[in-house]
Amino acid sequence: MTAVATETAAASSERLRLTEIFLSLQGESNSIGWPTVFVRLTGCPLRCQYCDTAYAFHGGEWWEFDAILAEVAQHGARHVCVTGGEPLAQKRCIALLQKLCDAGYEVSLETSGAIDIGPVDPRVSRVLDIKTPDSREAHRNLWSNLPLLTARDQIKFVICSREDYEWSKGIVAEHGLTQICDVLFSPSFTQVKPSDLADWIVADRLQVRFQLQLHKILWNDEPGR
Ligand code: SF4
């Protein structure tokens, strides 16, 4: 390989395909409400029936790591959320997470739960989905991720029906999830009445955290907000 070819190969290993980078308020998880820079990676191998970011499945543009870090910095926020799509579907996401931690940001990662989280920098707060039956992607749950979770992380269920709720309750009990980290239950936006889910949790005295997606309440889920 020539020197030029080696340089090109090195540069291409330091880039990721992105759909968007934008500043908003964190709409969910334990960092809800904080001004946060979102780095949305392109692509996802799943197809949850309620997906609200299908526009990130395809397209996007290649960004060098230096350009990503510069764009993140110019927004001036302490919190950075790497999301998708499924960010871990691009292997170089692992290196970006490390660089963001090295730069001193509070870094979170939103992941589908279908890809190994083992290589993720331990400074990152991982928000791991467990896909319910009514997402139609429950067969993608990678259960070997659960023992890797720590108190820094969060587990998220998007509940689409009463049946989903009962299933999720069973999974929380079976795996002792509330002993590991915070467990979040969200209603699927148009499929479960938020007050119904809230009532079920209270009636069962379930030690999970109910949450609504703030960005949908504030901005009706516009891309880039
Ligand atoms: S994992 Fe996330 S991005 Fe992928 S289809 Fe499901 S909701 Fe959409």
Q: What is the pLDDT of residues 119-132, one digit of tens each?
A: 999 999 999 999 99
Domains of the chain in sequence order:
15-219 (3.20.20.70)
Region 141-166 average pLDDT:
98
pLDDT band per the 50, 70, 90 thresholds, residue 215:
confident
Q: pTM for the full model?
A: 0.92
Q: Which ligand 1 atom is at minimum distance from the Cα of 44?
A: 4
Nearest CA to ligand 1 atom 6: 48
Name 111's bridge partners: 128
What are the phi and psi torsion angles at 208 (to 5°)? -120, 165
CA of 41 to the centre of ligand 1 (A): 12
| pLDDT at residue 12, rounded to an integer | 54
Name 209's bridge partners: 184
Region 48-56 average pLDDT:
96
At 20-38, the pLDDT tens digits run 999 999 988 889 999 999 9
Name 183's bridge partners: 155
For residues 223 and 152, the model is more confident at 152
At 165-194, the pLDDT tens digits run 999 999 999 999 999 999 999 999 899 999
Query: Is the bond preceding 85 in cis, omega lying within 30 degrees of 0?
Result: yes
**Top mutation candidate among 40, 51, 189 for ligand 1, by most atoms within 8 Å of CB:** 51
10 has a pLDDT exceeding 50: no
Report the mean per-residue pLDDT for the chain: 93
| pLDDT at residue 136, rounded to an integer | 98
Spell out the alpha helix ranges (H) of the chain: 3-12, 65-75, 93-102, 162-174, 194-204, 214-219
pLDDT band per the 50, 70, 90 thresholds, residue 8:
very low
Closest Cα to residue 198, out of 216, 211, 214? 211
How much is the CA Rg of the chain, to the nearest whole Å? 18
Q: How large a percentage of the chain has pLDDT more than 90? A: 85
DSSP at 27: -
221 has a pLDDT exceeding 90: no
pLDDT band per the 50, 70, 90 thresholds, residue 44:
very high
Q: Is 26 annotated as a binding-site member?
A: yes
| pLDDT at residue 223, rounded to an integer | 67
CA of 195 to the centre of ligand 1 (A): 24
Choice among 23-27, 67-71, 76-80, 143-147 with the minimum mean pLDDT: 23-27
CA of 83 to the centre of ligand 1 (A): 10
Closest Cα to residue 97, out of 112, 77, 75, 117? 117
| pLDDT at residue 213, rounded to an integer | 83
Among all chains, which residue has been given the structure tokens 């590991």? 180
**Top mutation candidate among 40, 44, 139, 216 for ligand 1, by most atoms within 8 Å of CB:** 44
Q: Which helix (DSSP H) or strand (DSSP E) does residue 84 occupy?
A: none
| pLDDT at residue 218, rounded to an integer | 85
Nearest CA to ligand 1 atom 5: 47
**Contacts with 99 (C-beta within 8 Å, 6 or more apart), sequence order:** 65, 69
